[in-house]
Structure 1
Amino acid sequence: MNNIIQFGEKVEGYDIPVLNEREIRAAAGILFLATYTSFMFILFDGNFIMIKYVIPVFLLDLLIRVFINPRFSPMLILGRLIVRRQTPEYVGAPQKRFAWSIGIILSATMFYFLVIENAYSPITGSVCLICLLFLFFEASFGICLGCLFYSLFFKKKVQHCPGEICYTNNRQAIQKVSVVQLVILGLLITILFMAPPFLQEQFSKAPHDLFRSSNTAKHR
């Protein structure tokens, strides 16, 4: 029973239970894609059907992670299958449990309003956007936003953060950003903001079918 109900894995060399950050990021990416697609259906078509499937799966998955064992989470199992050839990147389990508990609160809120009450409001929209933000940062950057709040509620020091960011602020040379690089980034942002007035007319033209145009030209 102790092997079934537990949180995190005991790995040699780590003094606290840990989880594999790679499969967590993979699972976050899957959930982000499903949630984002559902949000697009709502935004452009007013179709809430997909989100009503996604939310219960999202909530159930997090409940399994926190109250039973992350090893039995369907999304983490799928994530493990996807990244099984990659070397594990271990992260501390306690802060992940806290972050996923926040996720339970958010997804339970969505479940109550959208599935049980069958109603939408600025509350559901805001919660959905927060979930998307959390999932996007985890999947794309390996940044666990929920974990950042762990130290505000617990005095115990956070251990084994992704990329070892909780141990030191010293960056290696390859991580440092030079003035030239910042200027290049600034130029790109400036161009993106200034370009629309000049390119709007050209870019607003509907694209034509390349192959149909070629065939039409041949027949002529």
Structure 2
Amino acid sequence: MKNKQFGENVNGYSIPVLNEREVRAAAGIMFLATFISLMLILFEGNFVPIKYVIIIFLTDFSIRLFINPKFSPILIIGRYIVSNQHPEYVGAAQKKFAWYIGLVLSASMFFLLVILNAYSIITGLVCLICLILMFFETAFGICLGCKLYKLIKKEKAQYCPGEVCNIKTKQDIQKTLKTQLFVVLAFITFVFLTAFLFNKRFQEKTHNLFEENKISSSN
């Protein structure tokens, strides 16, 4: 029986590809949902939203990997959002590997948080790993799972985001100058000095400006 093709055929590309723009959009949606759910856990102790998010992620990754990425609900939403942008095609093989990592992570969270209904340092670490993977994907266009693909598979990935798989010379606008590195270092020093000098002031309870004005007016 012939294996089902993963990815889509596009003229000019020798292997099945995916649209990196919709993949990044989907990663951004997933990151936002996970981040909001994590904030609700940290500040309100509410684990209900993250359980729904985990089920959604597990279902979506299962559809991508075992049916077809074209029918992934989150990818479809991402496709609609970036439909006016010119596609950026990437190899489907490395994305498939990266999504298997997502499937394993979401399945482990499903077992621990939904089935066992328990949290621990393990769930915290898994959640942190998920956030890091999705943040790098959506903010920087860096697929960390795809980088693991190259290390494990020992074969060159094709059509990587931003053409990072191809050896090329950086253009001047891409190079980081020593003066720019100095600016970053100075900025970090400035942040630490600000924290050192104003930390006690910043920890004072913030008051409502308008309520204070009401009290002053009534007096």
Flag whether TM exceeds 0.5 (same fold).
yes
**In structure 1, how many angstroms separate the alpha carbons of the residues matched to 2:55 and 2:105?**
12
| Cross-structure match for 2:70 | 71
Segments of 5+ residues of structure 1 without an aligned counterpart are none
Amino acid at match of 1:14: Y
Q: How far did residue 92 of structure 1 move?
A: 0.6
Corresponding pairs, count: 217
Q: Distance in 2 between matches of 1:119 and 1:145?
A: 28
TM-score, normalized by length of structure 2?
Answer: 0.93
- CA shift, 1:212, in A, is 4.0
Shift of 1:40: 1.4
**Structure 2: which amino acid aligns with 1:168?**
I
Q: Is the CA contact 1:7–1:68 (under 8 Å) kept in the aligned structure 2?
A: no
Corresponding residue of 1:35: 34
Tell me the residue number matched to 2:43. 44
1:102-154 CA-to-partner distances (Å, cap 9, x unmatched) read: 11111100001111111111111111110111001001100000000112222
For 1:104, the equivalent position in structure 2 comes to: 103
CA contact (8 A) 1:26 1:82 kept: yes
TM-score calculated relative to the size of structure 1: 0.92
The one-letter amino acid of 2:6's match is F
1:184-210 CA distance string (max 9 Å, x none): 000001111222121123322333434
Residue by residue over 1:146-183, the C-alpha shift from the partner in whole angstroms, topping out at 9 and shown as x without a partner, is 00011222243210000000112521110000011000
The answer for the alignment partner of 1:141 in structure 2 is 140
Change (3 A) 1:44 1:213: closer
Which aligned pairs between 1:90-101 and structure 2 lie closer than 5 A?
A: 90-101=89-100
Distance 1:6 1:65 in 2: 12
- RMSD over aligned CA atoms reads 1.7
Q: What's the counterpart of residue 153 of structure 2?
A: 154
